[in-house]
Structure 1
Amino acid sequence: MKIKKVLLLLVIFATFTSCKVGRFIVYNFADIHDNKKFPARQIESANTKFYFQTAEKGKVPREINVDGTKYPFEEYIQKNKTVAFLIIKNDTLQYEKYFRDYNSSSIVPSFSMAKSITSILIGCAIDDELIESVNDPVTKYIPELKNTGFDTVTIEHLLQMTSGLKFNESYSNPFGDAATFYYGTNLRKAIGKMKLNSQPGKKFAYVSGNTQLLGLVLERALKDKTISAYLEEKLWKPLQMEFDASWSLDKENGLEKTFCCINATARDYAKIGRLYLNKGNWNGKQIVSQDWVERSTKIDTAQGSAQFYQYQWWLPSKTGDFMAQGILGQYIYVHPEKNLIIVRLGKNEGNANWWEILASMGQAY
């Protein structure tokens, strides 16, 4: 009888996890273990690894000032649900600390930091002449969206989140767009049903559907190569990543969830920051064009673009800093003028305003 009950529970679980609503019920809400829940493609690291130097006595903040109250630095970041915190200045680790049984080899989901990495791959595809220009209409690569309003939506509109896409970003509704994209098992079908709310190029609206459209554009441009294979070829191996990674899919052998869901380690996320800190150059080799990096991280308010967001990167201040950000408080923060990279990964945001904290640390260094 017990065996029958166990088998029944396994059948129920398998049934629930094979559809969107079932996944939502079983897995809701997004958490730091989501890399273990979805099918994924593996991304191999390089044979030759790059390691940041480690300072004998690193420059580490003693305190964090929050609304006029000072807290001990390490106590504060630990209390606020951090699992990894790295400070890298002048290519040297000033601080590297892990909490909650995490360590340097722990894989942590990127969540929306993957948007910034997807943007890098779009830049690489333009460099490789697989995509002609950011001015290309989306329908050049996704012809099934022709005559639905998308003929006037360009790749740049998607990069800048100014496409006018109709998309509910809420993750709390199992029947909403975000749940469909995150928990669903057929992203191509979901993309085919997308509609516009407004005319493109008029207004910024942060919605993950834009980046998933970029993902399908990229896949079509790559033809017979997967997005994960392109990431491995263009970034993971050239950047001499220390650990293998993966990219979660909507289903087995499906489409990469490009709006989220790269799974990697803190040190390897930091190398993404190092690439952009050095304007796309990695130890003498130009991985993605300098022009692309500069365009991706400059303040531009033309054609509806927001001053705090450009080409899937957040711009927290007007000092030239920029960052990738994920929903549970995952950050790759870069301040080129200070030659500074900070990576913060967390179980969630805690009660911290990481935007303000990271920008403040950037100024202090």
Structure 2
Amino acid sequence: MTSTTERPVAHREPSWWDRQGDLIMRRPFNEWTFTHMNWLMPTERVARGTTSLPFPVEPEPLDLTYRFEDRDHTLAELHRRTFTTAFVVVHRGVIVHEAYPGAFAGPRSRMQLFSLSKSVTSILVGIALDAGLIGSEKDRITDYRPDFLGTAYEENTIAELLDMTTGVGDLETWEVPNSGIKQFEQTIMGGGNLADVVRAATRTAPAGDRFNYSTFDTQVLGWVLEAATGQSLATYASEQLWSRLGCDRDAYYWLTRGRPRTAIGGGSLNATARDMARIGVLMANDGVVNGEQIVPQDWVRRSRGNDRPQLAVGALGPSGYSHYGYANQWWTLGTECFNAFTGLGVHGQYLYVDPDAEVVIVKCSAWPTQDDERRDAETVAALRRVADHLACTR
């Protein structure tokens, strides 16, 4: 019982410490922070292999225009209008265009990739399934993480995590101070147990009914992967992926400040733009690199789309833009785009894969806001135009 003599607790205004995430992501600082996250957070290395497989380079000027909002624009205008920091275009395994407009970016700069990390987590899950470390995508989360018994995730399957149809959590809204994703961010930066934040999420829809974009879902997916493999996300990514791609540099995941420290499977991978292009080439080539099947072909094909109506292009609802569908932690674009699909990250990170045109494009950016539907639509229009141009001229 509360004593009548007790004073009410005064409301505490957020301090700069509470707002670290906002400060890190604000322009113009984010051009620096997005290439120096290892100066700001604890990290774990994703080691490259002993053998590098350098990209062949045959530069092209790409003097083309793309159409957006009834006007033609050049790629230079795209970079200016959408705050591009790195731009790498690969066609048939060859770098044909490369630019680094960012003040601190270059071929060896490791970029903060945000939710492009989700697509990499999906690749790793596909590898673990093929190896038998994960029994089935129909397995429940609690088969691997019994600490989620009694939470809203208790009955969910790995497949529902992969397609973000768990029905757990609200709309992911960065602008709302006490939203789930803001609590997630503040716990990462300020300390505390991240699993407690995720376990507190509530059910908002029946499992499988609707798409709801959720970093929580991918975080749980990463934890399932770690439990199944007995390795950290960084170690498994190094052994099964990074060391086999011929990467130029080690990558890294930054980790939570609080203990137990954990990587953010949905958002803390940092790597060079060229090395992310290698991931795209892997997906464009049905999971094969240098004659070796690294990712199962059916897993790659699953990432290009499926026949589930709630995941079709234009059907995602308030959690996705109308030009996207979703599958397997990737955003799909439909058959009119050569079956192209893309990984996305906030502030304008793209890994665009067009397997029919044999084109992969990495675009890193430093948008002033996490999301921007207009900048996204313009970027997609430009990337499609580049892929169409290369498919028709080379």
- What band does the TM-score fall into relative to the shorter chain? 0.7 to 0.9
Distance, in Å, in 1 between the alignment partners of 2:43 and 2:342 is 25
Bigger mean CA deviation after superposition, 148-157 or 193-202: 148-157
- Relative to 1, partners in 2 of residues 1:149 and 1:345: Cα closer, same or farther, differing over 3 Å? closer
Post-superposition offset of 1:80: 2.7
Post-superposition offset of 1:127: 1.4
Matching residue of 1:167: 170
Question: Which of 309, 321, 329 does residue 326 from structure 2 map onto?
Answer: 309
Aligned: 1:340 with 2:363: no
Matching residue of 2:74: 72
Aligned: 1:325 with 2:331: no
Bigger mean CA deviation after superposition, 116-125 or 349-358: 349-358
Instruction: Tell me how many residue pairs correspond in the alignment.
Output: 345
What amino acid maps onto 1:196 in structure 2? R
2:284–2:355: 8 Å Cα contact kept in structure 1? yes
1:300–1:310: 8 Å Cα contact kept in structure 2? no
- Partner of 1:180, secondary structure, is helix
Q: For 1:230-258, what per-residue CA distance to the aligned partner results, in whole angstroms no more than 9, with x for missing partners?
A: 01111111011101111011126611111
Post-superposition offset of 1:342: 0.8
- Relative to 1, partners in 2 of residues 1:330 and 1:256: Cα closer, same or farther, differing over 3 Å? same
Matching residue of 2:291: 284
Distance, in Å, in 1 between the alignment partners of 2:109 and 2:248 is 12
Matching residue of 1:39: 42
Matching residue of 2:384: 359
Distance, in Å, in 2 between the alignment partners of 1:168 and 1:344 is 26
Aligned: 1:244 with 2:241: no
TM-score, normalized by length of structure 2?
A: 0.82
Which ranges of structure 1 fall in alignment gaps of 5 or more residues?
Answer: 1-14
- Partner of 1:152, secondary structure, is coil
Distance, in Å, in 2 between the alignment partners of 1:103 and 1:80 is 18
1:85–1:344: 8 Å Cα contact kept in structure 2? yes
Matching residue of 2:275: 268
Matching residue of 1:158: 161
What amino acid maps onto 1:249 in structure 2? L
Distance, in Å, in 1 between the alignment partners of 2:289 and 2:165 is 31
- Report % sequence identity: 29
Distance, in Å, in 2 between the alignment partners of 1:324 and 1:24 is 22
Post-superposition offset of 1:166: 1.4
- Relative to 1, partners in 2 of residues 1:181 and 1:306: Cα closer, same or farther, differing over 3 Å? farther
1:24–1:174: 8 Å Cα contact kept in structure 2? no
1:183–1:250: 8 Å Cα contact kept in structure 2? no
Post-superposition offset of 1:317: 2.8
Matching residue of 2:319: none
Distance, in Å, in 1 between the alignment partners of 2:94 and 2:122 is 26
What amino acid maps onto 1:227 in structure 2? L
Matching residue of 1:23: 20
Distance, in Å, in 2 between the alignment partners of 1:178 and 1:286 is 36
- Partner of 1:54, secondary structure, is coil
Bigger mean CA deviation after superposition, 116-125 or 181-190: 181-190
- Kindly report which structure 2 residues correspond to 1:128-143, keeping only aligned pairs within 5 A, or say none: 128-143=131-146
Post-superposition offset of 1:26: 5.3
Which ranges of structure 2 fall in alignment gaps of 5 or more residues?
Answer: 1-14, 314-324
Question: Which of 241, 255, 258 does residue 235 from structure 1 map onto?
Answer: 241
